[in-house]
């Protein structure tokens, strides 16, 4: 606690690790008690937050390392529900009460860690929100609850026109985007800026952009158009997202996720046109518009981003939001300048409103992101709060930073020119969610984790060097500093800032350009999307050419391993010296952008001309005339023609490809039809996945499991080593899945994902598993056979990648076991969507984000109804319409596809398989566990581990006297899972002959499927092989029919436009391996293993904790890399 | 400080007929709006009144002034060059003395025994400086008024030191610049349409006129400059103003006058009858 309250920076910045070095379990627990008491009474928000993060870190990292902390405990279900409902205080209280009753244990420590962490972030978010609302100039909007209270009026210049048929003037706002020349070490996160203003500094440059090879010259990428219209509606048009709406109700304005117009809606609200106080008022939008614009009139707001892809790390969306707000504020007199640039006060006001808008729309950005409002290069710094500031006494810094424009005396024009001649800006094609990274940065800052804190201080020194180099005009030195920043401080703070793809690109550029490559520079939250490469100006053009080709080549190599959203692009850019600016377009000049007409004119032409307003008819006429003379409208007529009569080619082609893929993948049309019928008539569904409510489900007894977490009898190890020496074991890695959670449905092959730097470079899951087998094989002097099961979705990418990297140099037999089944996804049933979102406990989000999510759910339910519940899901690339049918099939596939038969033919001594999920990074062929399995004579030995709160998805239970694994989907009641002590790691030791016996098969049956090689009648032998194949298929069908079929919802991304992605929930069916434990003839055993071994990696947000809690080091110790 | 002259600006080209509207005053006597304003000025001790008007309006205003016509000086604003310019037209008339200024589209109802203008003049005579009458006004009405920012004068509950004047500010601007401690949330000190001004205002208007070229000359920038140049206070009047230039403004003004006057019972009875006769 002294660390938290200390005024002396040396003590205040001490890390928790250092302070707690050598502490015993009881000492840690005593510290927790004091910290919890302190944070409850502490009036200072930031001390409270820091105490909460200390409590989180102690429970997440320090207590679990104490060997005398018992592993097993129970999380009270009620507390878990509190967590989901964001009642974190109540959750903490319940967990502490449970700890008092049960005694401290690892399970409850995980629950407390989760609750404290959430409470910490909730406190922070609430504070930032309060600051946003309390900024002077924003408060009135929250008081305005009735149209009659609306104090704004549209400027008369926008409502004045010479005659009713002439157009209203159009206000056009043009805005650059921003790049962060220094990479600020994420110091622009609001919280950091407010708690550590002296460390919050960025060099922010406003730039115009063009896509190389597409655009003639760089220009401000953001355009916003605002005009008065003759209808009492709010017309919002997003030209770049191809969406528009005529909004007639206030409720729809606040419905952010209903369509792609959320950003425009947020702007209209944040600008005070529809003040946030009107939400839920039950008033009429038309009344508000009448007061604001005039009776019978409305407003039209259109946005246009000139083809700049999402994920550019150039803050396109924040600057678009700011541009929209600027236009709205100019139009309503909130900015003195209707046209031209904004003055400093106005820019700050717009920036504050953009923060409000981002909060309303549930998105987020840093405080530097609306930098495009300002001209050229500026130094943006956090500011210490002083008396009179609303933040004073609450946070150390102000919400809004200070912008200092660097003039020609500070950065010469020659330097700006040299920078433009050296820097190559690109979008690498990856568009990833940086939200988790920003949370990690905040957490590490609060904990002052030693290495990370040193990294942050080093990044500050790098910043000074970059600023100095910029003032000296030394671009080469800038390149050196940004590279050092990326490889040093930034990755020390967040290792995940780099990706395998980025490092390949840097390596190849360096190899090609040598000393002419001056440096790499990361943009935004993480690399892979927007990036900068600094070259000797003499080689910049070569650099652009090379990068264009190198990015495409690297993307082709890694397209199945990493989530690419689009083809990489190289930009042309220029520093924008004006910032945002506006013009009033009048008379014949009053036209919207070409993309607007491409979207709207076909609708107008389909409407009865008499029904069109006179102004629209006049606009059509003006457009017709302008098409002849205005170069930017060249080609408009052809475009309109194509929009009116669209070609049907691509869709037909897609259908054909999908049909072909289904045929090749072993799609069982009859089974699919049966499942679809069952889904539609309610025999299958999320609710039907569950065991009957009357099922008695109990936790296992101590005798039901073998505890190997503290080590095993040496005889087990001896037995295991003997079997290994005999060549009786092979490894099976399950790699048929595409990691829906891992990349939120991006459809990459998880097995190939280079997820973490281990042994000095990024490694994929497959490489990690092979490295473990390599180490063991070398120890034994005998390589271990390694099988990788695949599905149609993953087989070709894995095969090709292994060929490309030469099996990662693996010496032993490495076989792929191709899938023999494929499913076609279905449009979900509304019933299942509602079950998932309404009946099952769901993690509630922060207030505004939850509103956005509720609105999204309503939209998706509407989509399911429109698209036809239970219909085949085909509206995506074929790869995303297919699904693997669950990991149960991966073992029968081994029997059907001849891979096991081949291995048995080659190695008759093979007796056991060690099967594990691809994401169980710590699983290896441990001789002691193998020996335990052999000595038990079991058919299947499953590895389980003590449960933590995040382990959702079933567990080990007693049902009717039988010990078995129960999937989370099958839990008869939500809370039943919380009574179970052990979670399934999915790793299984398999006795091959006993497994075959369950199917009614023998090795001989498998071997009989092989091509005859000896003498005798070839036809007869082939017939016998076919007969054996049929026998195996029939045997598998019999067992399959005895296992439950689950319906699950998976998120699937649909990509479109320039890196845009939508996520749809689709239905698919699965059969799961753990249900083998329900078969009475399967002799199953369960062994408790340490978490380091059994932990599965399901979500990339887990990785940082996994790295910090020693799991990564544990895995590294098991591996031999080459 | 002696205040013997008043200036009524009535030259707004779109509001020429407002002073001519007939209302029934508190005594139950029908009068024009102009008459009511003149009586407000006279009650404050003013002896001489000038009306600034647009070309061609003098006859109508003279008639509308009724028995007070003889006291009036009519000054024509030849071209519509803004409110500030209209007031500046009276520069020679007011000379080196402070004067009382009214707009012609507001009527006033005092809450206490003293009329609104009386309160204002009395305050100015005590503090010896320019004083503008203000009323705490809800932010939704900001588009109609000039607004002041400042702080309370110690020991004087109704007086404020004016630091800033903004004409029809946006709520955002008001919140950032014009919040006055002690007012209810969302309320600002907006002009009452009645000021005691010093001749410095005329000097300032003249300076602004030189810079304005052909653009209309507003009064608020000159008042903002006045606050920088000399002591300038605001008085929160015990009473209410009614803007007869807005929708239903005349009706509201009439109701307010009637309900404060001799015919109160009669008017209330009429209102009740109207309400009772409404169709459900």
In the three-class reduction of DSSP (H, G, I as helix; E, B as strand; rest coil), residue B138 is classed as strand
Pairing of strands A982-991, A729-734: unpaired
Of B140, B170, B185, nearest to A334 by CB-CB distance is B170
The domain that holds B232 is classified in CATH as 3.90.550.10
If 0-12 CB within 10 Å is exposed, 13-18 middle and 19+ buried, where does residue A244 land? buried
Whether the CB-CB separation of A1089 and A929 falls below 8 Å is answered with: yes
pLDDT in tens, B71-117: 899 999 999 999 999 999 999 999 999 999 999 999 999 988 899 99
- The CA distance from A415 to B85, in Å, is 52
**Residue B199 or residue A636, greater confidence:** B199
Interchain proximity A137–B143, CB inside 8 Å: no
Interchain proximity A136–B176, CB inside 8 Å: yes
Whether the CB-CB separation of A532 and A425 falls below 8 Å is answered with: yes
pLDDT in tens, B131-144: 999 999 999 899 88
- The CA distance from B156 to B122, in Å, is 13
Interchain proximity B143–A151, CB inside 8 Å: yes
Interchain proximity A151–B175, CB inside 8 Å: no
Cα A397 off chain centre by: 30
Establish, for the pair of chains A and B, how many residue pairs have beta carbons separated by less than 8 Å. 48
The secondary structure of residue A60, as a DSSP letter, is: I
In the three-class reduction of DSSP (H, G, I as helix; E, B as strand; rest coil), residue A233 is classed as coil
Q: What is the pLDDT of residue A311?
A: 67
Whether the CB-CB separation of B165 and B227 falls below 8 Å is answered with: yes
CA distance B174 to chain A (A): 8
Enter the tokens of residue B135: 């009323």
**Residue written as token pair 């539609």:** A680
Whether the CB-CB separation of A296 and A232 falls below 8 Å is answered with: yes
Residue-number span of the structural domain to which B251 is assigned: 5-276
| DSSP string covering B139-204 | GGGGGGSEEEEEEEETTEEEEEEEEEEEES--HHHHHHH---TTSPTTEEEEEEEEEEE-HHHHHH
Interchain proximity B175–A140, CB inside 8 Å: yes
If 0-12 CB within 10 Å is exposed, 13-18 middle and 19+ buried, where does residue B211 land? exposed
Of B139, B141, B143, nearest to A140 by CB-CB distance is B139
Q: If interface means Cβ-Cβ distance under 8 Å, which residues of chain B face chain A?
A: 138-143, 170-176, 179, 185-186
Interchain proximity A272–B173, CB inside 8 Å: no
Whether the CB-CB separation of B178 and A140 falls below 8 Å is answered with: no
Q: Measuring CA to CA, which residue among A81, A112, A119 is closest to residue A95?
A: A112
Of A143, A148, A333, nearest to B170 by CB-CB distance is A333
pLDDT in tens, A666-701: 788 888 898 899 999 988 898 888 888 888 889 999
Mutate one of A135, A136, A140 to test the B interface: name it (highest B CB count within 10 A): A140
Q: What separation in angstroms does the CA of A643 have from each of A239, A246, A597, A649, A1056?
A: 14, 21, 11, 14, 17
**Residue written as token pair 């006291």:** B71
* Residues of chain A positioned with their CB less than 8 A from the CB of B170: 151-152, 332-334
Q: What is the pLDDT of residue A651?
A: 46
* Residues of chain B positioned with their CB less than 8 A from the CB of A269: none
- The CA distance from A681 to A1060, in Å, is 35
Residue A812: other Cβ atoms inside 10 A:
19
* Residues of chain B positioned with their CB less than 8 A from the CB of A278: none
CA distance A3 to chain B (A): 38
CA distance B207 to chain A (A): 22
- The CA distance from A466 to A469, in Å, is 5
Q: What is the pLDDT of residue A1058?
A: 62
* Residues of chain B positioned with their CB less than 8 A from the CB of A388: none
> At a CB cut-off of 8 Å and minimum separation 6, what does A447 contact?
A15, A16, A53, A54, A57
Mutate one of A137, A141, A151, A269 to test the B interface: name it (highest B CB count within 10 A): A151
Q: By CA distance, what is B175's nearest residue in A?
A: A137
CA distance A395 to chain B (A): 21
**Residue written as token pair 């109701």:** B255
* Residues of chain A positioned with their CB less than 8 A from the CB of B186: 140, 143
Helices (H), chain B: 33-43, 58-64, 83-88, 91-94, 116-127, 171-177, 199-212, 220-229, 249-259, 264-276
Averaged pLDDT, groups of 10, chain A, 1122 residues long: 83 86 93 94 85 95 92 92 89 95 95 94 79 81 88 93 84 94 84 86 91 89 94 92 89 81 92 90 90 94 83 83 96 92 91 85 73 92 86 81 89 90 91 80 87 92 93 93 93 91 95 94 84 94 95 91 88 92 91 88 81 82 84 77 60 63 80 89 88 88 91 92 94 86 77 92 95 93 93 89 92 90 90 86 72 84 90 86 86 90 93 95 95 95 94 88 90 88 94 95 89 61 79 89 90 74 87 92 94 91 90 95 86
Q: What is the pLDDT of residue A488?
A: 93
Of B171, B176, B179, nearest to A151 by CB-CB distance is B171
ipTM above 0.90, yes or no: no
Helices (H), A448-539: 450-472, 475-485, 491-493, 500-513
Q: What is the pLDDT of residue A128?
A: 72
> At a CB cut-off of 8 Å and minimum separation 6, what does A1018 contact?
A1012
Phi, psi of A81 (to 5 degrees): -65, -40
Q: How many domains does chain B have?
A: 1
Domains of chain A: 2-134 (no CATH), 591-644 (no CATH), 661-678+694-825+872-1118 (3.90.550.10)
Whether the CB-CB separation of A498 and A491 falls below 8 Å is answered with: yes
């Amino acid at each position: 606690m002294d660390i938290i309250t200390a005024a002396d920076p040396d003590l205040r910045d001490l890390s928790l690790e250092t302070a707690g070095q050598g502490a015993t379990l009881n000492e840690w627990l005593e510290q927790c008690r004091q910290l919890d008491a302190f944070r409850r009474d502490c009036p200072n928000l930031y001390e409270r937050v820091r105490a909460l993060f200390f409590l989180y870190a102690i429970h997440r990292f320090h207590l679990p390392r104490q060997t005398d902390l018992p592993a097993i405990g129970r999380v009270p279900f009620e507390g878990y529900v509190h967590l989901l409902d964001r009642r974190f205080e109540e959750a903490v209280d319940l967990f502490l009460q449970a700890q008092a009753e049960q005694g401290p244990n690892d399970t409850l420590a995980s629950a407390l860690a989760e609750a404290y962490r959430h409470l910490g972030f909730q406190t922070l978010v609430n504070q930032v929100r309060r600051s946003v609302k309390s900024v002077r100039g924003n408060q009135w909007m929250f008081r305005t609850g009735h149209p009659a209270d609306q104090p704004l009026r549209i400027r008369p210049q926008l409502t004045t026109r010479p005659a009713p048929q002439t157009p209203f003037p159009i206000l056009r706002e043009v805005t650059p985007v921003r790049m962060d020349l220094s990479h600020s070490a994420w110091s622009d996160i609001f919280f950091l800026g407010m708690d550590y203003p002296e460390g919050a500094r960025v060099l922010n440059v406003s730039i115009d952009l063009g896509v190389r090879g597409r655009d003639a010259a760089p220009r401000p990428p953001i355009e916003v158009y605002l005009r008065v219209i003759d209808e009492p509606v709010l017309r919002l048009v997003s030209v770049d997202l191809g969406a528009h709406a005529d909004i007639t109700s206030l409720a729809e304005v606040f419905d952010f996720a209903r369509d792609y117009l959320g950003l425009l809606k947020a702007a209209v609200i944040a600008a005070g046109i529809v003040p946030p106080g009107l939400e839920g008022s039950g008033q009429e939008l038309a009344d508000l518009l009448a007061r604001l614009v005039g009776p019978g009139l409305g407003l039209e707001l259109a946005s246009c981003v000139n083809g700049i892809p999402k994920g550019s790390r150039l803050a396109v969306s924040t600057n678009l939001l700011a541009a929209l707000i600027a236009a709205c504020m100019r139009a309503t007199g909130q900015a003195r300048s209707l046209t031209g640039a904004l003055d400093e006060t106005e820019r700050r006001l717009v920036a504050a409103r953009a923060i409000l808008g981002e909060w309303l729309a549930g998105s987020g950005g840093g405080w530097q992101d609306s930098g495009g409002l300002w001209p050229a290069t500026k130094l943006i710094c956090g500011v210490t709060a002083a008396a009179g500031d609303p933040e004073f006494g609450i946070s150390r810094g102000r919400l809004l930073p200070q912008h200092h424009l660097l003039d020609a005396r500070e950065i010469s024009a020659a330097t700006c020119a040299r920078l433009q001649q050296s820097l190559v800006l690109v979008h690498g094609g990856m568009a990833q969610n940086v939200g988790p990274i920003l949370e990690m940065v905040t957490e590490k800052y609060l904990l002052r984790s030693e290495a990370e804190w040193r990294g942050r201080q080093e990044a500050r020194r790098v910043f000074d060097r970059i600023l100095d180099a910029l003032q000296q005009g030394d671009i080469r030195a800038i390149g050196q500093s940004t590279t050092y920043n990326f490889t040093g401080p930034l990755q020390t703070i967040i290792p995940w800032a780099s990706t395998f793809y980025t490092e390949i690109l840097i390596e190849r550029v360096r190899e090609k350009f040598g000393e002419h490559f001056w440096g790499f520079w990361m943009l935004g939250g993480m690399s892979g999307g927007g990036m900068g490469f600094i070259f000797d100006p003499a080689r910049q053009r070569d650099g652009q050419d090379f990068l264009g080709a190198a990015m495409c080549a690297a993307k082709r190599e890694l397209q199945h391993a990493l989530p690419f959203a689009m083809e990489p692009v190289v930009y042309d850019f220029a520093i924008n010296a004006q910032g945002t600016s506006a013009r009033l377009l009048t008379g014949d000049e009053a036209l919207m952008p070409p993309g607007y007409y491409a979207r709207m004119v076909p609708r107008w032409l389909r409407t009865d001309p008499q029904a069109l307003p006179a102004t629209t008819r006049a606009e059509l006429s003006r457009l017709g005339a302008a098409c002849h003379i205005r170069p930017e409208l060249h080609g408009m007529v052809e475009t309109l023609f194509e929009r009116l009569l669209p070609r049907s080619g691509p869709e037909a082609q897609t259908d054909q490809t999908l049909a072909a893929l289904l045929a090749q993948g072993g799609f069982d049309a009859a089974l699919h039809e049966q499942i679809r019928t069952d889904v539609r008539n309610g025999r299958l569904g999320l609710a039907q996945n569950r065991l009957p409510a009357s099922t008695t489900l109990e936790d296992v007894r101590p005798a039901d499991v073998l505890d190997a977490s503290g080590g095993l009898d040496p005889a087990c190890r001896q037995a295991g080593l003997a079997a290994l020496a005999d060549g009786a074991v092979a490894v099976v890695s399950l790699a048929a899945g595409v990691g829906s959670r891992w990349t939120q449905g991006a459809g990459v092959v998880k097995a190939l994902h280079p997820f973490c730097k281990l042994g000095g470079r990024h490694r994929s899951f497959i490489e990690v598993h092979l490295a473990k087998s390599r180490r063991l094989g070398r120890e034994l002097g005998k390589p271990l056979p390694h099988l990788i099961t695949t599905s149609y979705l993953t087989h070709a990418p894995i095969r090709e990648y292994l060929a490309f990297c030469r099996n990662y140099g693996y010496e032993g037999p490495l076989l792929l076991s191709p899938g023999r089944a494929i499913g076609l996804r279905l449009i979900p049933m509304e019933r299942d969507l509602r079950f998932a979102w309404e009946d099952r406990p769901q993690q509630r989000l922060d207030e505004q984000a939850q509103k956005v999510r509720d609105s999204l759910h309503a939209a998706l339910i509407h989509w399911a109804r429109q698209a036809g519940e239970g219909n085949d899901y085909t509206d995506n690339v074929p790869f995303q319409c297919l699904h693997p049918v669950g990991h149960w099939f991966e073992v029968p596939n081994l029997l059907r596809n001849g891979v096991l038969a081949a291995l048995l033919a080659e190695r008759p001594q093979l007796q056991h398989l060690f099967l594990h999920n691809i994401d169980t990074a710590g699983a290896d062929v441990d001789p002691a566990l193998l020996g335990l399995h052999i000595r038990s004579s079991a058919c299947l030995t499953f590895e389980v581990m003590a449960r933590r709160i995040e382990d959702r998805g079933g567990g080990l239970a007693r049902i009717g006297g039988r010990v078995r694994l129960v999937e989370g989907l099958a839990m008869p009641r939500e809370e039943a899972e919380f009574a179970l002590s052990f979670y399934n790691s999915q790793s299984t030791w398999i006795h091959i002959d006993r497994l075959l016996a369950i199917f009614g098969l023998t090795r001989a049956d498998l071997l009989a499927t092989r091509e005859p090689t000896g003498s005798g009648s070839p036809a007869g032998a082939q017939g016998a092989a076919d007969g054996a194949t049929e026998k195996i298929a029939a045997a598998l069908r019999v067992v399959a029919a005895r296992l439950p079929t689950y319906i699950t919802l998976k998120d699937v991304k649909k990509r479109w436009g320039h890196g845009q992605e939508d996520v749809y929930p689709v239905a698919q069916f699965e059969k799961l391996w753990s249900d083998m434990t329900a078969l009475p003839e399967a002799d199953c055993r369960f062994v408790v293993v340490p978490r380091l071994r059994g932990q599965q990696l399901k979500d990339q947000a887990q990785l940082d904790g996994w790295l910090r809690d020693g799991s990564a080091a544990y895995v590294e110790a098991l591996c031999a890399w080459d | 400080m002696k205040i013997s002259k008043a200036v009524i600006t009535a030259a707004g080209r779109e509001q020429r007929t407002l002073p001519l509207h007939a209302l029934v005053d508190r005594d139950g006597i029908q009068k024009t709006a102009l008459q009511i304003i003149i009586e407000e000025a006279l009650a404050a001790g003013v002896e001489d009144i000038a009306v600034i008007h647009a070309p061609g309006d003098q006859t109508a205003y003279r008639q509308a002034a009724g028995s007070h016509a003889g006291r009036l000086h009519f000054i024509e604003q030849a071209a519509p060059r803004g409110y500030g310019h209209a007031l500046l037209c009276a520069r020679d008339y007011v000379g080196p003395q402070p004067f009382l200024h009214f707009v012609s589209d507001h009527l006033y109802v005092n809450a206490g025994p003293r009329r609104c203008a009386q309160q204002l003049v009395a305050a100015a005579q005590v503090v010896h400086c320019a004083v503008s009458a203000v009323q705490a006004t809800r932010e939704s009405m900001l588009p109609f008024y000039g607004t002041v920012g400042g702080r309370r004068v110690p020991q004087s509950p109704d007086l404020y030191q004016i630091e800033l004047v903004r004409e029809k500010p946006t709520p955002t601007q008001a919140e950032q610049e014009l919040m006055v401690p002690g007012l209810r949330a969302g309320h600002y000190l907006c002009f009452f349409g009645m000021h005691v001004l010093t001749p410095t205002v005329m000097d300032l208007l003249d300076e602004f006129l030189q810079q304005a070229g052909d653009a209309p000359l507003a009064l608020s920038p000159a008042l903002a400059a006045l606050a920088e140049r000399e002591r300038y206070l605001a008085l929160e009047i015990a009473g209410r103003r009614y803007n007869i230039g807005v929708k239903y403004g005349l009706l509201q003004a009439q109701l307010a006058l009637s309900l404060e006057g001799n015919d109160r019972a009669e008017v209330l009875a009429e209102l009740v009858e109207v309400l009772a006769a409404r169709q459900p």
